Chain A
Amino acid sequence: MIAHIFADLCNGCQACVSACPTHVLDRAAQGGPPVIARLDQCQTCFMCELYCPQDAIFVGPDQTGPEVIDPSAIKASGLLGQMRRDHIWDAPPGDLAPLSEYWQLGPYLMGGAQIAAERYARRHAQGETK
């Protein structure tokens, strides 16, 4: 769930308020950092991070309940902005880097399933399991 908005990094653009599909955030009255108003609606989808140009918002990994984090530890961890960097979200038009490996999704999905199927067949052939 959304864990923290770093006031010192936030520029008050409210992009995360718009981008959040589940209306967790409210605009700040005076243009400052948005307010986490309905955390129970957060689905831990990381979309707010993707749309934050300042890397000022951090989503914790647990979707089952609110998380207490240490803001300074998060800053030091280098995880702020990780989602945008991994996506190469701000690549210029025509740059094919962001999705250059994406075609491998299908083959690895099937490859993994094949590994599981062969393992299962092998075990049952050997009579290891009932």
Chain B
Amino acid sequence: MDGLDLETDVLIIGGGMAAAWAAIGAAREGAEVVLVDKGFVGSSGVTATAGPGHWWVPPDPGLRAAAIEKRRQSAFGLAEKAWAERVLDLTWRSLPQLAAYYPFSRDGKGQTYYAGVRGPEYMRALRRYAIDLGVRVLDHHPALELLTHRDGSVAGAAGYARLERRPWTIRAAACVLATGGCAFRSGLIGSHTNTGDGYLMGAEAGAELSGMEFSTIYTLSPAWCSTRTLPYTAARFFGADGAELDIPPPMADRAHHRALAKAMLEGPVFADLSEAPEALKPILRRIQPATIAPFERRGVRIFEDRFEVKLFGEGTIRGTGGLRIIDDDCQTTVRGLFAAGDAATRELVVGASSGGGSPNSAWALSSGQIAGAAAARLARTQGRQAGERALGQGRAGLRPSRAAHAVDERAAIDAVRDEMLSYGKAFWKRRASLEASQARLDGVWGELAKYRRAEGLDQVAARETAALVATARWSTRAALARTETRGLHARADAPDLAPDGARRLLVGGLDALWTRYETPAARTLLAEAAA
């Protein structure tokens, strides 16, 4: 079948806010930019279905320093002050640039409200802005693998256009992975496409990951449909017998979710939202229409009726790990391969604690533009090298190591969900249970890597499955290696901070996994010591 063959300066892989900002950043540098997304730029990913608030601090040195200090306290020694400063600065300067595309309203005090944006409108605005800057957007063009040159540098990517049903190959001087995080198919709203594809493609090309142990975090929603959480923060909770449960408030973070998880392990849990802020009730629809719909269409009165709730895993989306970044350009350990948004580690800004909400959005906006611009500069100085030989690096699902035969992918995904999302395993991690998870996931990986070879459209699902399993393995391996409790990473058998634990933990490998602590970045430690 005839495929699509293109050549460009910069290839952006992904279709959420980090990808869009990366495309914008690269196009502004004058590069020719192609963006390929698995879905549709506008509806893909967890930003489109959410309402990202950005870390938003005016350029007042005192305010900025206070904001950074507050984050530093929850970063547990893994963040870098210089990154926080960059991210705050870029975010403050970037959002107002969308004014021609997004209907920024007032903030109730007469000022324009920039910090928080609603997902569908934000992604529509970013799409239009990118296209106006000359970016070529290819929707429904999932990438399946990266291509590399003989020297290991990135040469482009190959994938499958799923509406046209044809393969594509795009050669590029530089690539940005902005494929989002991985929610382990928890059902979290917007996350069905977030299967860790970029982690897998990057690792196959030689990239490393960092912070994958910080992947245990959940969001509350009605049991039948994951939504955003605005109306639930004042909820009271009840067991099946109608007795009220003693649940620490949402501000208690892990204690809140752990108490809910404990109750849910014993039986169904019901929420009662009648004590939500009165003034919110009539306008929730105006703020989060998609949160109302699952209630309205089921005949449940959201602020009056009790309804069953569940915790939906967020994995590395609200976690902090991802592809390791080794320089100020958001480059990975693979030359010419950059990472942005949730595909990259966010430890640089938030360390061991979730950047969910505003720092993650600010990071996606900033790392996207930084990576995109750096990719464009690399393309300019180095040229496209499109005539050089390039090899596809994809393995599991594409090029098995043995004679191919059928593999039960549904069972593979069920194993990932069970090992990564089961409340008992996630909230009470112990060496023995982590080792059991690791053994099971290694077995699943082995089957996929040895025997799975997909063709045509089936390749997309096969690679998603492989990425889910790979991400679960890296997270589990890192959780085993970090024998302490730090930020999001909690070990029931090691409940305290380890004295030497303020180091980023790297993980990688495909068939054989490895971990090692990062040699502390001298700049970070010096800067922190001088502060």
- List chain A positions with a Cβ less than 8 A from chain B: 17-23, 27, 41, 43-47, 50-51, 59-64, 79, 82-83, 86-87, 89, 91, 93-106, 108-113, 115-117, 119-120, 123, 129-130
Contacts and interface: CB of A to CB of B under 8 A. Distances in A.
A82 B293 contact: yes
A22 B121 contact: no
Given A20-B39, A21-B44, A102-B287, A64 B103 contact: no
B49 A45 contact: yes
B225 interface: yes
Interface in B3-57: 15, 38-40, 42-45, 48-49, 51, 53
Interface stretch (B246-254, B327-335, B471-479, B484-492): B246-254
A104 B40 contact: no
A116 B190 contact: no
Given A61-B296, A63-B225, 8 more contacts: A27-B163, A61-B294, A99-B103, A99-B105, A99-B121, A100-B286, A109-B233, A120-B248
B297 A113 contact: no
Given A98-B121, A112-B234, A120-B249, A20 B296 contact: no
A86 to B, nearest CB: 3
Nearest to A25: B163
B263 interface: no
Nearest to A79: B297
B226 interface: yes
28 contacts: A43-B187, A44-B225, A45-B49, A47-B43, A61-B225, A61-B293, A61-B297, A61-B298, A62-B224, A63-B224, A86-B286, A87-B118, A87-B121, A87-B289, A91-B103, A99-B103, A99-B121, A100-B105, A101-B283, A104-B283, A105-B287, A108-B280, A111-B280, A112-B230, A113-B250, A115-B233, A115-B275, A117-B249
Given A45-B290, A62-B225, A112-B276, A103 B285 contact: no
B295 interface: yes
A119 B221 CA distance: 21
B136 interface: no
Tell me the interface secondary structure of chain B in the complex: loop
A98 B103 contact: yes
A89 B234 CA distance: 29
A109 to B, nearest CB: 6
Contacts of A61: 224-225, 293-298
A124 to B, nearest CB: 8
B292 interface: yes
